[in-house]
Amino acid sequence: MHTHDIESRAVPELAPMSRPAYQGRWHFLYGTLLIVMAAVTLGSHVRLQLELTSHTMPDPAIDTAVRVRRHARDLAIDAASAIEAAADNDTHGVRRYANSASHSVRAIGATLEALAAHDEEQPRPLEATHYAEQMANLHAGVAAAVEELAAAERGPGIGSVVPICRGIETVSAQMVTVTDRAIRDLTAVHDEEHRNLSRSSLALAAVTALLFTAYAGLMLGPVARTVRAQLRELERARAVAMEGIRSKGEFLANVTHELRTPLTSILGYAELLRDPRTPEAERAEYAGIIHNNGTHLLQLINDLLDLAKLDAGRMTVSRVACSPAEIVEQTVQLLRPAAERKRLTLEYVVHDGVPRSIESDPDRLRQVLVNLAGNAVKFTFSGGVRIEVHADGEPHRPTGIRFEIHDTGIGIDEETLARLFTPFVQAETATTRRFGGTGLGLAISNDLARLLGGRITVQSERARGSVFTLRLNLPESRSNEASFALDAANPLRGVRVLLAEDGDDNRRLLTHLLRAAGAHVETARNGLEACALAEATPAPFSVILMDLQMPELDGLGAVRKLRSGGCRTPIVALTANNRPNDREACFEAGCDDYLVKPIERARLIAECRRWHDEGERAVPDRRAAA
């Protein structure tokens, strides 16, 4: 352990100043006097604070007025109810309301007695005494009226009940008026007393502070130490702020580099493609380079958008039937060219017991696996990468799935492991320069794993390789597992698709992808054409792909028109927006699903196939219902 010794210097002894010998004694006496005065004022301030604390307790007179007002209102309600019962010749109703009125009168009496008992212990203000006497007089009057009411309802007839109840209502109204004035006036008195106490307390606090400040002025040594400590804290805070600024600067530099690199390749090779002298063999190579760089650029933009949505808490995941084996196979196919360029082996193993179908979000699960396995390929130079899929739990009833990504790469030291899942972090700055990247992949993958109901763990050793493990606690899917056995060459054979897209390039591209997969495709340039085709075509479509932003009639308007006309064909919205309110608007209009552009070929084909199969299964159910 390295140590750093601070050189200590001897403090020179100060020569005594020429001053009177009695100055030190006066200094001591002055400080003692300040302390005594400060202690006295502090004691007075504490006493006033205790009085303020007790003064914040509910005032008995105000509390009594509030209670009496509540019971007086109840009494008025009982009297009015008794009048209605007498009008209906309801003897039982009159008796019930008379008993309730008696209860209210007794409650008022008990409240006034409690106030009188409190007054014997502590004198009350004149205003409180005045209102207490008024409430007591009104209570005596209403108590007599309630007794008359009780006697009347026990008599042979109930004809005299109405005038008695009218009198009770009048007295109750007077009591409510008196209590309202009492609450208002007594509250004003109480608030004024509280303000006076507060002013006195603040004045004493100010005097106490001044005295202590004057005494502290004599103690320059502690003050100096405090100032030095605060300066050290400020310096540490400044260092932290500068580190944050440096991290943001490095991140912006990395992002700028990662954006400019593929853009440079795309623009450069696009110029070469436009050159008529470029040979056809090189044109195919250049097109592939442009495609690869565009894919990298799109991935970077998606990472930034995902990080923003995760930070804002707006990232959502779906739960659909998907095959873990197919997702792993797609991951390997995506990464195999990169592994072959580095002469690495890339393989996967699906062990026994792994279910063929689970309920999860296939896109997000694939994104996590591609990030983890892509990092493994990036940081491995010899050997290879292996993805293993295990089932957790019983062999026939797994409770979870475990994806393990093994590599023989450079490994990660223990210090870096602690901050590996922090955004913008890679192993070191040199790693960023050597391997590229922004350091977002693992942070996004970790958050996505939690959204999927799982977690990511890592085991690594420097120069020995790493093992990243994704554990998902997912139930086994109840979907039809036979749906995975499709025609590999024409997975959309027998599927009829109506594509509504106003963009010529997008419409041509999507039509080509769908027809290449075996689908029969009809196209429309706007919502009106789509509605006309859907209504005029004799054979129903398997699925309708509806762009949202189109001229003449937009996608949502077309969906509403089709649904209002009785169209039951599945409709999948196509849009470049991915905001939660956009999804809700699509589903409210009548869409069955929602795809965000750009759409991967495999995802497009899988969605069309899924909705075609859903429609095939729904036809027998509709026939049976008919």
According to DSSP H, which parts of 452-579 are helical? 504-516, 527-536, 555-564
Residue pair 572/544 in contact by the 8 Å Cβ criterion:
yes
Examine the domain organization and report whether 454 and 346 are in the same domain. Answer: yes
In this predicted model, which residue has the larger pLDDT, 125 or 179? Answer: 179
Beta strand 384-393 with 358-360: parallel, antiparallel or unpaired? unpaired
Examine the domain organization and report whether 258 and 169 are in the same domain. Answer: no
Examine the domain organization and report whether 538 and 608 are in the same domain. Answer: yes
Considering its fold, how many domains does the chain have in total? 4
In this predicted model, which residue has the larger pLDDT, 385 or 140? Answer: 385
Examine the domain organization and report whether 407 and 330 are in the same domain. Answer: yes
Confidence of residue 546 (pLDDT cuts 50, 70, 90): very high
152, part of any domain: yes
Provide the pLDDT for residue 523. 94
Q: Assign residue 567 the CATH number of its domain.
A: 3.40.50.2300
Residue pair 590/562 in contact by the 8 Å Cβ criterion:
yes
Q: Assign residue 294 the CATH number of its domain.
A: 1.10.287.130
Examine the domain organization and report whether 82 and 187 are in the same domain. Answer: yes
Range with lowest mean pLDDT among 65-69, 399-403, 603-607: 65-69
Q: What is the pLDDT of residues 336-372, one digit of tens each?
A: 888 999 999 999 999 988 888 888 888 889 889 988 9
Confidence of residue 622 (pLDDT cuts 50, 70, 90): very low
For residue 623 the two structure tokens come to 């026939």
Report the pLDDT averaged over residues 231-252. 77
342, part of any domain: yes
122, part of any domain: yes
Asked if pLDDT for residue 485 goes beyond 70, the answer is: no
Report the pLDDT averaged over residues 219-232. 70
Residue pair 320/452 in contact by the 8 Å Cβ criterion:
no
Give the residue among 259, 265, 272, 273 at the shortest CA–CA distance from 290.
265
Residue ending a domain, among 194, 212, 230, is 212
Residue pair 586/573 in contact by the 8 Å Cβ criterion:
yes
Asked if pLDDT for residue 16 goes beyond 50, the answer is: no
Q: Assign residue 176 the CATH number of its domain.
A: 1.20.120
Beta bridge partners of residue 472, listed in sequence order: 401, 454
Residue ending a domain, among 311, 334, 368, is 311
Residue ending a domain, among 311, 335, 350, is 311
Examine the domain organization and report whether 296 and 369 are in the same domain. Answer: no
Examine the domain organization and report whether 290 and 372 are in the same domain. Answer: no
Asked if pLDDT for residue 484 goes beyond 50, the answer is: no
Report the pLDDT averaged over residues 246-270. 77
Confidence of residue 213 (pLDDT cuts 50, 70, 90): low
Provide the pLDDT for residue 436. 53
Confidence of residue 466 (pLDDT cuts 50, 70, 90): very high
Examine the domain organization and report whether 269 and 297 are in the same domain. Answer: yes
Examine the domain organization and report whether 254 and 335 are in the same domain. Answer: no
238, part of any domain: no
Examine the domain organization and report whether 307 and 353 are in the same domain. Answer: no
**Model pTM above 0.85:** no
CB within 8 Å of 383: residues ≥ 6 apart:
344, 345, 407, 408, 409, 465
Rounded to an integer, what distance in angstroms lies between the CA atom of residue 295 and that of residue 282? 20
Range with lowest mean pLDDT among 35-39, 101-105, 376-380, 594-598: 35-39
Reply yes or no: is the peptide bond before residue 16 cis, omega within 30 of 0.
no
Provide the pLDDT for residue 498. 95
Examine the domain organization and report whether 67 and 208 are in the same domain. Answer: yes
Asked if pLDDT for residue 126 goes beyond 70, the answer is: no
Provide the pLDDT for residue 376. 92
Rounded to an integer, what distance in angstroms lies between the CA atom of residue 373 and that of residue 399? 24
Q: What is the pLDDT of residues 402-457, one digit of tens each?
A: 999 999 998 888 877 776 776 655 544 444 445 555 667 788 888 888 888 899 99
381, part of any domain: yes
- Domain residues for 139? 60-212
CB within 8 Å of 67: residues ≥ 6 apart:
107, 108, 111
505, part of any domain: yes
352, part of any domain: yes
Examine the domain organization and report whether 331 and 287 are in the same domain. Answer: no
Q: What is the pLDDT of residues 288-311, one digit of tens each?
A: 888 888 887 887 787 777 777 777
Report the pLDDT averaged over residues 594-603. 82
Q: What is the pLDDT of residues 166-179, one digit of tens each?
A: 777 787 788 888 77
Report the pLDDT averaged over residues 497-520. 92
Give the residue among 460, 456, 270, 465 at the shortest CA–CA distance from 384.
465
102, part of any domain: yes
Q: Assign residue 415 the CATH number of its domain.
A: 3.30.565.10
